[in-house]
Structure 1
Amino acid sequence: MRPATILSLGLISLGAVIVMLPFVWMVSVSLKPREEIFTPDVFLLPRQPTLSNYWTVLTETDITFYLLNGAIVTLGILVLQIAISVPCAFALAHRRFAGRGLLFGAIVAALLVPFHVTAIPIFLGFSQIGILNTYTALIVPFVATAFGLFLLRQAFAQIPAELIDAARIDGMSEMGIAWRVAFPLGMPTVIAFAIFSVTAHWNDLFWPLIATTDPGLATPPRGILYFRDQESGDDIGPLMAGATLVTAPLILAFLLAQRRFTQGLAGAGIKR
């Protein structure tokens, strides 16, 4: 093996260890009894593993309710994002209309604008129409996604124009082509976008912290704050157990879809 290859593998391994260490520590602490956590000595793995912290979380907090809220919000956002992005991205890729290039440029420019810039105007607007503290307030701001439009447009642009024209000759409508031809062919990219979307909104604390004050609408990150302040206090073990339960669905989803995720990113190359 060449020295350059060894160096590359070493750097990749080091990066992986740095990224994974906080997660390993989180799981380790969640399995430690209290007396092993607050000690002057640091041990990466628990000496006497216990599930008592998980039992405390599941029986004495509303963690399952927070997970349910997270599922409702993230899936609601994802379904509406795909419902809007697929036909719009198809039109940008395979329809000719005035201002198409300008519109695509605006979408690319929108990628540079963080949500935090528009959060306050959205909050004020929602306050005026009275939809704060609702699932609607948590879902609607993210339905239109510049990232989803860009990613899907790039994937759909790689579909041969001859295939689209053949579908039109067969009498298929434009919406039918978008959903019955482009959507299945772009499925790897759709899955890649779905992972990005679910991860971002499952972990989002900023907007739920602004848009809701009702504990009954708390998503997992917001729920962890309630858990820390009201239930756990300085009891780090249950807090880490709750964080592990919140993180586990994302890791499982990624492991199940990692192959399609990689294919989706590779297939959404730059094409004009």
Structure 2
Amino acid sequence: MLNGFSTRETVKHAVLILGAIIVLLPFYVMLTYSFKSPHEIMTNTGGIFGAQELFRDDYCIKRGNPVDACMVTPFIYNYVTAFSKAPLLRYLMNGLIVTGSIFVIQVVVALPCAYALAKLRFWGREAVFGLVLFCLLIPVHAIALPLYIMLAKLGLTNSYAALVIPWTISVFGIFLMRQFFMTVPDDLIDAARMDGMSEYSIIWNVMLPTAIPALMAFAIFSVVAHWNDYFWPRIVITGNRDLFTPPLGLREFKGDADGDNFGPMMASAVVIVMPLIVAFMLAQRRFIEGITLSGMK
């Protein structure tokens, strides 16, 4: 039995390690390419951080600068080019505005809906919850064309509204918060009602503070999904570069067959991914609590 248990655990950990390697490999390639020169990238040499030997920046020379002033290390070249060739800070600000706006509005909509489905008794409640579950099955790509036509007729394409409005109602957020509210004792709500609080006051003054772990979990899902979204911004943002989100900003480095843009592109990807990694590390404990508590019922 002990040997069988040990073998089972070994296989389990081996599978988990293999999965972790598969997931982390693209991040490793992204990070190491952001340190390397174009020649090292094309020949796959230089180790993890590259040789960091000085090389000539041809674009710098084309601008009329002396050769000595255009000798740079790959690390400096890649990250300086990432911020100079494209307004990366502007793209990061756009991503912050879009993802923040979407999340705030999603919470404002999801909390009352989830509270009603979890704690209020009304005719058709289970049918409404069934529709919520059904909406979880609808892929985004299936409704992209109708959404685009609607926004185009309203003249909202190439605007922040086009990036925010279609995602302000999150059925996943409603489902997640409903599952969490099911774990809140009814006695707490009854006590609030006896104190004279309205249902809306209960939502924002009683349920909201208790739902912080679930909200943190939902925030990770929402922010990551919309920060990394390339499909929808590529459709609705066509003529205004100032509205590019971070994934669209990577298009600024596309196209050269010789691979000269790979280093700056990977440096841009590192800069874009870092806020998500930092946010997740800070919210990791709350994220795990929110997922665990939301699955109790």
Q: Normalised by the shorter chain, which TM-score bucket?
A: over 0.9
Listed as ranges, the matches of 1:77-92 within 5 Å are 77-92=102-117
Residue 27 (structure 2) pairs with residue 23 (structure 1)? yes
C-alpha distance in structure 1 between counterparts of 2:219 and 2:41, whole Å: 37
What CA deviation, in whole Å up to 9, does each residue of 1:152-199 have, x standing for no partner?
Answer: 000011101111101100111111111111111111111000000000
Query: 1:88: Cα distance to partner?
Result: 1.2
Cα pair 2:85 2:252 within 8 Å, conserved: no
Find the counterpart in structure 1 of residue 71 from structure 2: none
Find the counterpart in structure 2 of residue 262 from structure 1: 288
Amino acid at match of 1:3: T
C-alpha distance in structure 2 between counterparts of 1:51 and 1:156, whole Å: 50
> Secondary structure of 1:193's partner?
helix
Find the counterpart in structure 2 of residue 39 from structure 1: 43
Find the counterpart in structure 2 of residue 180 from structure 1: 205
Change (3 A) 1:227 1:102: same
Query: 1:116: Cα distance to partner?
Result: 1.1
Change (3 A) 1:249 1:40: closer
Residue 76 (structure 2) pairs with residue 72 (structure 1)? no
| Alpha-carbon RMSD | 1.8
Cα pair 2:99 2:223 within 8 Å, conserved: yes
Find the counterpart in structure 1 of residue 58 from structure 2: none
Query: 1:239: Cα distance to partner?
Result: 0.7
C-alpha distance in structure 1 between counterparts of 2:209 and 2:248, whole Å: 36
User: TM-score of the superposition, structure 2-length normalised?
Assistant: 0.87
Amino acid at match of 1:238: P
Find the counterpart in structure 1 of residue 249 from structure 2: 223
Tell me, which stretches of 5 or more residues in structure 2 are unaligned? 53-73
Amino acid at match of 2:82: V
> Secondary structure of 2:75's partner?
coil
Query: 1:40: Cα distance to partner?
Result: 5.8
Query: 1:109: Cα distance to partner?
Result: 0.3
Which portions of structure 1, spanning 4 or more consecutive aligned residues, are displaced by more than 6 angstroms?
none
C-alpha distance in structure 2 between counterparts of 1:240 and 1:137, whole Å: 28
Amino acid at match of 2:200: M
What CA deviation, in whole Å up to 9, does each residue of 1:210-250 have, x standing for no partner?
Answer: 111111111011111133259x9742100110111111111
C-alpha distance in structure 1 between counterparts of 2:20 and 2:167, whole Å: 31
Tell me, which stretches of 5 or more residues in structure 1 are unaligned? none
Residue 13 (structure 2) pairs with residue 9 (structure 1)? yes
Find the counterpart in structure 1 of residue 129 from structure 2: 104
Find the counterpart in structure 2 of residue 117 from structure 1: 142
Find the counterpart in structure 1 of residue 63 from structure 2: none
Query: 1:41: Cα distance to partner?
Result: 4.7
Change (3 A) 1:131 1:244: same
Greater alpha carbon shift after TM alignment, 204-213 vs 35-44: 35-44
C-alpha distance in structure 2 between counterparts of 1:247 and 1:30, whole Å: 13
> What percent of counterpart residues are identical?
45
Amino acid at match of 2:281: L
C-alpha distance in structure 1 between counterparts of 2:113 and 2:44, whole Å: 58
User: TM-score of the superposition, structure 1-length normalised?
Assistant: 0.94
C-alpha distance in structure 2 between counterparts of 1:61 and 1:233, whole Å: 17
C-alpha distance in structure 1 between counterparts of 2:15 and 2:140, whole Å: 33
Find the counterpart in structure 1 of residue 66 from structure 2: none
Amino acid at match of 1:237: G
